[in-house]
Structure 1
Amino acid sequence: MSLLASKSPFYATFKTLGLLYLFFVVGLFLDSFYMVKITKNAQWYANALMLTVFFITFFYVTKTIKERMVFAVLLGFVGEYLFSVALGMYTYRLENVPLYIPFGHAFVYIAVYCFSKAASIKNIRKSLEKFLVIFILIYAAVFLFFKNDVFGFVMTIATLLILRNKPRERLFYLTMYISVVVLELVGTTYKCWFWPPIAWDIFTFLPSANPPSGISLFYFLLDLGTLWLYKQRHRETWQRMKNIRKISLKSIN
């Protein structure tokens, strides 16, 4: 059964987000404080699993998705060394950038992309978007009131305000928000990484939870960068798609 053509939203969700979240739980466990008690090579086990899954996935996906995965990995390396090592926004267990992280960014990006493009998901897009917005607001509010997560709440509100004017990308980014929430909760629970009590460990007026609720705002930079690189590599095709879209909108109006 084709994922994108599947008529079942449950099938599409399981084959994308379900497997992705399961991989979070299993993959990050290999770099968790539980494994550290057993072996000094915990992070290398996580690296090996991530690379194996990445290249298996890479082998089966389309050429378009292959390109986006490569761009996501490259930008993932740049972003991780910038935000974690240079700016100290968060810190990994061994104070390095684990190899599985940049490759994991690509894996997250593609899973969310395939989920949002599935036909069965598109059929319930508006209802799903409303549900996700309500869930996100409740989640961020809980973190704000119970964990004093001002930093996360501010980023959440900024994210939702930005998405008000982006109807075509809204489902993708709302789903990305939820996926990052799951990733961050699993990673910090396993103590694979941690966030300081204030933003960047500098801004005292922005208290932060570990993890902050709206950190997906920074993941959007990866998504936008991946899309931009793809557009630059396929300018003529992208322009042709834009022209077709304009013609379709004119015919509807």
Structure 2
Amino acid sequence: MSLLASKSPLYATGKSLGLLFLFLLTGLFLDSFYFYEVTKYAQWYANIAMFIVTAIVFIKVSKRSKEQMITAIFIAIIGEHLFSLVLGMYTYRLGNVPHYVPPGHALVYISVLYFSKASSIIKFRSKIEVVFSIFIFIYALVFLIVKNDVFGFAMTIATLFILKNKPRERLFYLTMYITVAFLEIVGTTYKCWWWPSTAWGVIDFLPSHNPPSGISLFYFLLDLGSLWLYKQRHKLAWSRMKNIRKIRIQKQFVSN
């Protein structure tokens, strides 16, 4: 059964986010501080696991999704080296950028994309957005109160404010927030990487937790970058799609 055409929201969620979360739990453990005590080649096991899973997903997705995955990997390579090694916003266990990280970004991106595009999910879109928004706010508020995560809370409020006027992208980015929150909690718990106690270790008046709750705001840059590059490569197709969407909106307006 196709994930996008599935009539069961549980099936669509399990085949996209469920499998992704399971892989993050097991895959990141291979690069964890705990597994490193078993073998000094721990990170290479994580790299191999990520390459295999990413290759399997790459083979199965559509041509357009393949191009988006490649673009996401390209942007992630640049972004990870800039944010981690140059700016020191966060630090990986071995002080490098692990090879599994860029394809990991692509895997997260495509999993969230397919979840948000599944017909069974779109059917309950409004309700899901409300539930996700409430969960995200409570999640960030708990981090603020319990962990003094001012930085994360500020980014969360900024995220919710931005998405207020972006109905078409809202489900995707709300899902991305929750996915990144899970990813960051797993990664920092395994000690694969860590964040400084203030915003990027530079802005002292913005206390931060490890990880900050709203860090998915920076994942949006990856998503926006991937979309922008895709538009540049397919300007004609993108323009045609926008015209079709405009005609549909006009027909709906007239019919109402």
Instruction: Please indicate the TM-score interval, normalised by the length of the shorter structure.
Output: over 0.9
In the alignment, the residues of structure 2 paired with residue 120 and residue 5 of structure 1 have an alpha-carbon distance, to the nearest angstrom, of: 7
In the alignment, the residues of structure 1 paired with residue 164 and residue 220 of structure 2 have an alpha-carbon distance, to the nearest angstrom, of: 15
In the alignment, the residues of structure 1 paired with residue 10 and residue 41 of structure 2 have an alpha-carbon distance, to the nearest angstrom, of: 37
In the alignment, what sits opposite 2:40? 40
Return the offset for 1:34. 1.1
Q: Deviations over 1:145-193 (max 9, x none)?
A: 0000000000000000000110000000000000000000000000000
Unaligned runs of 5+ in 1: none
In the alignment, what sits opposite 1:122? 122
Return the offset for 1:247. 1.0
In the alignment, what sits opposite 1:237? 237
In the alignment, what sits opposite 1:24? 24
2:165 aligned with 1:165, yes or no? yes
Give the ranges of 4+ consecutive aligned residues of structure 1 lying more than 6 Å apart after TM superposition: none
TM-score, scaled relative to structure 2: 0.98
Across the two proteins, how many residue pairs are aligned to each other?
253
RMSD: 0.5
In the alignment, the residues of structure 2 paired with residue 32 and residue 203 of structure 1 have an alpha-carbon distance, to the nearest angstrom, of: 29
In the alignment, what sits opposite 2:11? 11
**Identical-pair percentage:** 66
Q: Deviations over 1:211-253 (max 9, x none)?
A: 0000000000000000111111111000000001111111122
5 Å-filtered alignment, 1:84-233, equals 84-233=84-233
Secondary structure class of the residue paired with 1:204: strand
TM-score, scaled relative to structure 1: 0.99
In the alignment, the residues of structure 2 paired with residue 60 and residue 5 of structure 1 have an alpha-carbon distance, to the nearest angstrom, of: 15
In the alignment, the residues of structure 1 paired with residue 99 and residue 28 of structure 2 have an alpha-carbon distance, to the nearest angstrom, of: 12
Unaligned runs of 5+ in 2: none
Return the offset for 1:77. 0.4
